[in-house]
Every structure is written in C-alpha cells, then in structure tokens.
Amino acid sequence: MGYRIVVVGATGNVGREMLNILAERQFPVDEIAVLASRRSLGTEVSFGDKTLTTQDLDTFDFTGWDIALFAVGSEATKIYAPKSAAAGCVVIDNSSLYRYDPDIPLIVPECNPEAVHGYSKKNIIANPNCSTAQMVVALKPLHDRAKIKRVVVSTYQSVSGAGKEGIDELWDQTKSIYNPTDDKPAKKFTKQIAFNVIPHIDVFMEDGTTKEEWKMVAETKKIIDTSIKVTATCVRVPVFVGHSEAVNIEFEDFLDEDEARDILREAPGIMVIDKREDGGYVSPVECVGDFATFISRIRQDSTVENGLNLWCVSDNLRKGAALNAVQIAELLGREVLKKG
C-alpha cells in the first residue's frame, strides 16, 4: 500500500524536479495529482514513464490525500497550504512562508530527522532555503564532533534559484552580448547577470544584509544549534544550475583537516572530492542532476583558533529544493505514516 501524493506547482522548475525525483527514488506512490494555477491548467508533465495533466489548484480537494509537496510562492502557499493541512494532507512546503514558525519543523533529514514528529501541530513541514540546505549537511557532522562557534560563508548562487525567469535572463543576455543590436536589459535581476556577479539576493534589510543572508543565519540556528554564529554574503553568479559556497568554520575544539575529511566521507548525503591537484575539486556544472552535496578544498585556517575552510557545491534544484522535500516525505512515511 503506497501513498496518495499531490505536487503543487508541478509546471515550475522545482515541481518538475520533484516529480523526477519521486520517480527516480521509487517513492511508493499509489496515486499522484499534479496541480497548477489556472494559467497553466492542462499542461502536461512527466512522472517516470507516465504523462500527467495538471489540475486546478483552486478547486482541488485535498481530502483523502496523504502528502502535498508545495513548490509555489509564499502568496499561493498562504492560501492553499492551510486547506491541505486542514483536510488531513501533510504539507511539505518549499517556500519561505513557514520556515521561521516555531510550531512548524524546518527539516534537513541528514541533520535533524527527529524534528519530523513536530509536524502534527499544524500538519505542515518546512523545507529550508537552497543555500542553507547544502551548507548544514556539511556542518552537522562536524558540529557533532567539535562544536561550531562561528561560520562565515560566501555563496555563489546560480540563476535557477530565481526560477525560469532567471534562467531565461542569463540565456538571453549572454546571446545579446554577441549581438550588439539585440539589447537585453536586466529585468529579473537588479543588474546584468551575463558575464557579471551580483552581490544581492532577495530584498535588503535595515542592517544592510539581504533577506537571503538573513535566511542562512536563522535557518542554520533552527536546524542545527541556536548558539552557532553565522554571517553570510550571498552572490548571484552566471551559472544555470548549482550553488557553490566558500565556508569558513571556527570550532570550540581543534579539528584536524584529515579527521574532518574522514568525518565528511562517512556522513550521509555528502561526497568528498578533495585532491590537491588541477581539477581535484567539484564545480557546479559537475553536480547537476546529482543527489549529493559535494565537499572539496578542506584545509586548516591558521588565522583563527580551531578553524577550517571548505568548498561546498550542490544542485540547488535537487538538494536545495526538490530532493530535500522528497527526503522529508520519505522520512515522514518511515517514521510516522508508515504506509509505503
């Protein structure tokens, strides 16, 4: 006996990836419904070797369905997630709407699987921000060994994190650079993204940080440990898929780089590729389509006591969004629903 699954926002980048991953991981699905807004109604999407037709989110009845994977913006989620939850269908939400609600668990299964039992307060589970998800997978096993005091992270985030419009803008601007008569001004981003980097993701806050940077701080504390100090600089780069992060970690106790490498090799969800030679590390184009979070460039930081540096790369549409949501569904099924 399997699950009745709903994918909300099935025509978007993350929704389509959720369907791919449910099929790839052979999630025990008895029945699946794909929902979209009325403007995308009737669009066909793939699920394994099947073709599914989207239904109207506005009129859909969630009663009798087990899990709803939400891949729509906060405004739509605010309307439809409570409807799903009230009908008894557990929501796993990829938007930022519920991440900071103390009654809603924010889960990365490799880090805090025990939090899944808190779902019952509101019948909703939150998926973290893409840049946070891959970082905490690397931080948690190291924190368990040596306790992290402070993290300084600089991100190199792909345009797919801004959705299809971000991908299209990079593609169109790149082509227009070579065609002087075809000017493509910035629309989705605040400045030209082709052959450029933009140190600005999401809105600015009063203290000068951006909302994306604030998310990494708040979510790391909620997922791993409230005592960890985090400071982030988040940058959009002209890469289609795959987020990269340069992470500097200061521990309470000394942790040797070789031991750290061994710990990460054994940790769930991580692949260590760390050779001190040309090409002995992973770049974003190499991680696309992979489930793993890749760690490279592990080395001591001699400028602080008990410091390490590392390079972290992951497919943001997968571990940063769709894969983590499906892993949460697997965890929920295994620990709570127990149907599959």
**Sequence ranges of the binding site for phosphate:** 99
Q: Is residue 185 part of a domain?
A: no
Confidence bin at 38 (pLDDT 50/70/90): confident
Q: What b/e sequence results for 149-187 when a residue is b if at least 16 CB atoms lie within 10 Å of its CB, and e otherwise?
A: bebbbebbbbbbbbeeebbebbeebeebeeeeeeebeee
Please, are residues 224 and 249 in contact by the beta-carbon 8 Å criterion?
no
Residue 1: what pLDDT?
78
Mean of all residue pLDDT scores within the chain: 96
CATH number at residue 91: 3.40.50.720
Residue 269 and residue 287 share a domain: yes
Q: What pLDDT, in 10s, does the model give residues 14-30? A: 999 999 999 999 999 99
Helix ranges, the chain (H): 13-24, 74-86, 130-146, 164-177, 211-223, 257-266, 284-287, 323-332
Q: Which residues contact 325 (CB under 8 A, 6 or more apart)?
A: 18, 69, 71, 92, 94, 127
pLDDT at res. 290 = 95
Do both 217 and 254 map to the same domain?
Answer: yes
Q: Which residues contribute to the annotated binding site for substrate?
A: 157, 236
The answer to whether residue 254 is domain-embedded is: yes
Q: Is 214 helix (H, G, I), strand (E, B) or coil?
A: helix
Average pLDDT of 231-256?
A: 98
Q: 229 forms bridges with which residues in the sheet? A: 150
Q: Spell out where 185-284 has E strands.
A: 229-236, 243-251, 270-272
Does residue 107 sit in the same domain as residue 231? Answer: no
Mean of pLDDT values over 262-280? 98
Catalytic: which of 89, 243, 287, 312?
243
Instruction: Name the binding residues for NADP(+).
Output: 11-14, 39-40, 160-161, 180, 316
Cα–Cα distance, 209 to 200 (Å, whole number):
9
Identify whether 130 is a catalytic site residue.
yes
How many structural domains compose the chain? 2
pLDDT band at 268, cuts 50/70/90?
very high
Q: Is residue 58 part of a domain?
A: yes
What domain range is 96 assigned to?
3-127+321-336
Same structural domain, 146 and 279: yes
Q: Provide the pLDDT confidence category of residue 340 given band limits of 50, 70 and 90.
A: low
Cα 191 to Cα 180: distance, rounded to the nearest angstrom: 18
- Claim to verify: residue 288 and residue 326 sit in the same structural domain: no
One domain, residues 103 and 138:
no
Kindly state whether residues 328 and 248 are assigned to the same domain.
no
pLDDT band at 48 (very low <50, low <70, confident <90, very high): very high
pLDDT over threshold 70, residue 135: yes
Do 123 and 63 belong together in one domain? yes
Is this prediction's pTM over 0.75?
yes
CA distance to 61, 64, 106, 114, per residue, from 88 (Å): 11, 7, 19, 21
Residue stretches of the annotated binding site: 11-14, 39-40, 99, 157, 160-161, 180, 236, 316
* Model pLDDT for residues 136-158, shown as the tens digit of each residue: 999 999 999 999 999 999 999 99
Residues 24 and 138 in one domain: no
Q: Give mean pLDDT, residues 258-287.
A: 98
- What average pLDDT does range 223-251 have in this prediction? 98
Q: How many CB atoms lie within 10 A of CB 229?
A: 13
Residue 139 and residue 262 share a domain: yes
Are 193 and 200 in contact, with CB atoms under 8 Å apart?
A: no
Q: Establish if 168 belongs to a structural domain.
A: no
- Are both 237 and 329 inside the same structural domain? no
Nearest CA to 234 out of 200, 284, 188, 208 is that of: 200
Residue 190 lies in a domain: no
Q: Place 127 in a pLDDT band, splitting at 50, 70 and 90.
A: very high
Which tens digits make up the pLDDT trace of 58-88? 999 999 999 999 999 999 999 999 999 999 9
Query: From the candidates 89, 130, 234, 312, which is the catalytic residue?
Result: 130
